[in-house]
Amino acid sequence: MANRVVLAYSGGLDTSVAIPYLGEMLEGDVIAVALDLGQGGEDLESVRQRALDCGAAESIVIDAKDEFAEEYCLPTIKANGMYQGEYPLVSAISRPLIVKHLVRAAQEHNGTHVAHGCTGKGNDQVRFEVGFLNQDPDLEIVAPARDYAWTRDKAIEYAEGKDLPIEQSAASPFSIDQNVWGRAVETGFLEDLWNPPTKDLYAYTEDPALGNAPDEVIISFEAGKPVAIDGRQVTVLEAIEELNRRAGAQGIGRLDMVEDRLVGIKSREVYEAPGAVALITAHKALEDVTVERELARYKRLIDARWSEEVYDGLWFGPLKRSLDAFIESTQEHVTGDIRLELHNGAATVNGRRSNRSLYDFNLATYDTGDTFDQTLAKGFVRLHGLSSQIANKRDRAAAQRDAVQE
């Protein structure tokens, strides 16, 4: 059977170059599959046509925005997904969805290979290939940028030689990945850690220094899911899109960080995720009100581990599935409203209400008439510190014995 390569196609430099190159190297047809994940910019027809212009035998485009929001962004909201406490997993959560549709396309179009445009230095090669192996281990995997030692300058030269319709040039060498959940920018002058991002690098957010008037928004949740904004019912996708617009206008969600990549190197990335940051901020605030203390403490550990599993490309792994089940069980009472002030690059919580709240005004107030029995506190404090008190007593005695012996 002739080789048929199903390629994860983005329309950018690496995957556009991959179409003719894979056709030549594997002597077969290339089927380009592109997903609309809310990245904006070009319309799907332009992306589809570019793949054909680059030599694809077939070009498939899929509108997956709602699927992405409901099945990938929503679990990230519930898990407060932030790798290293900062990065809202913009690219990481899109890869398993792309894998799902590539495998499906390979099965429907008699594909023999699946391919991606990732290099050997990044995390995405792991996310794609582990996903492929999990979903259909019979498919051969090829990564031209990695397997054939492509570099960005060589890719640009090859594209120019083939007169491929791409946007990158030697003067604009950024690698950009974006979807409705956020935007990631790397390479170019950002590889020098001392170089600050330039204003023209940003697309999802306005400069916080512009001083736009504060914007107050009320986000309503049911069982951890955003369901309304300012009282208007919304889908998860609509919630993300509206908060991308409103939080983005305030410069919220900008991130310049050096992250620990799975392959062992540190890498600088600049992210924009205004909607993601606003939604996770609100969700965490509502959890603070509705989730019991010990459960909340443990969930914070699970959230961090969940984020690491997803970042490391293990979306389909058994640990991730078990963590999903735990997180989902914690969301039963995460219902209510959070009011945020969006201003000067920050999403600040200034109001909370929930009929599932564990906050008891009568217990919390310091005014006359509170119902908290402070006479119980003295005994509680002594018992709470008893074990450490005993240990410190022993350690002091040991130190005194050692001093006498000296």
The answer to whether residue 288 is catalytic is no
pLDDT for 32-75, tens place per residue?
999 999 998 778 888 899 999 999 999 999 999 999 999 999 99
Cα–Cα distance measured from residue 151 to residue 136, given in angstroms and rounded to the nearest whole number:
29
Of the candidates 149, 145, 91, 155, the residue with the CA atom closest to the CA atom of residue 117: 145
pLDDT for 205-264, tens place per residue?
999 999 899 999 999 999 999 999 999 999 999 999 999 999 999 999 999 999 999 989
CA distances from 270 to 201, 242, 266 (A): 9, 22, 13
Per-residue confidence band for 311, with pLDDT thresholds at 50, 70 and 90:
very high
Average pLDDT, integer, range 173-184: 88
How many residues would you count in the chain?
406
Instruction: Name the active-site residue from 29, 36, 124, 303.
Output: 124
Cα–Cα distance measured from residue 113 to residue 28, given in angstroms and rounded to the nearest whole number:
10
pTM of the full structure: 0.93
Domain ranges of the chain: 4-175, 179-353, 361-405
Instruction: Name the active-site residue from 95, 152, 246, 254.
Output: 95
The answer to whether residue 200 is catalytic is no
- Note the pLDDT of residue 259: 95
Instruction: Name the active-site residue from 59, 91, 94, 175.
Output: 175
Neighbours of 268 (CB within 10 A): 17
Per-residue confidence band for 175, with pLDDT thresholds at 50, 70 and 90:
confident
Average pLDDT, integer, range 395-401: 94
Q: Across all residues in the chain, what is the average pLDDT?
A: 93
Looking at the predicted structure, is the pLDDT value of residue 172 above 60? no
pLDDT for 116-165, tens place per residue?
988 888 899 999 999 999 999 999 999 988 888 777 778 888 888 888 88
Alpha helices in 249-273 (DSSP H): none
DSSP run (H or E) holding 319: helix 318-330
Q: Tell me the CATH architecture of domain 361-405.
A: Up-down Bundle (1.20)
**Is 3.40.50.620 the CATH classification of the domain at 4-175?**
yes
The answer to whether residue 147 is catalytic is no
Contacting residues for 301 by C-beta, under 8 A, at least 6 apart: none
Cα–Cα distance measured from residue 355 to residue 333, given in angstroms and rounded to the nearest whole number:
9
Instruction: Name the active-site residue from 14, 36, 177, 303.
Output: 14
The answer to whether residue 293 is catalytic is no
Cα–Cα distance measured from residue 184 to residue 271, given in angstroms and rounded to the nearest whole number:
5
Whose structure tokens read 């490391």? 312
CA distances from 73 to 38, 69, 126, 201, 291 (A): 12, 5, 20, 24, 21
Higher pLDDT, 13 or 205: 205
Assign a CATH topology to domain 179-353.
Answer: Argininosuccinate synthetase, chain A, domain 2 (3.90.1260)
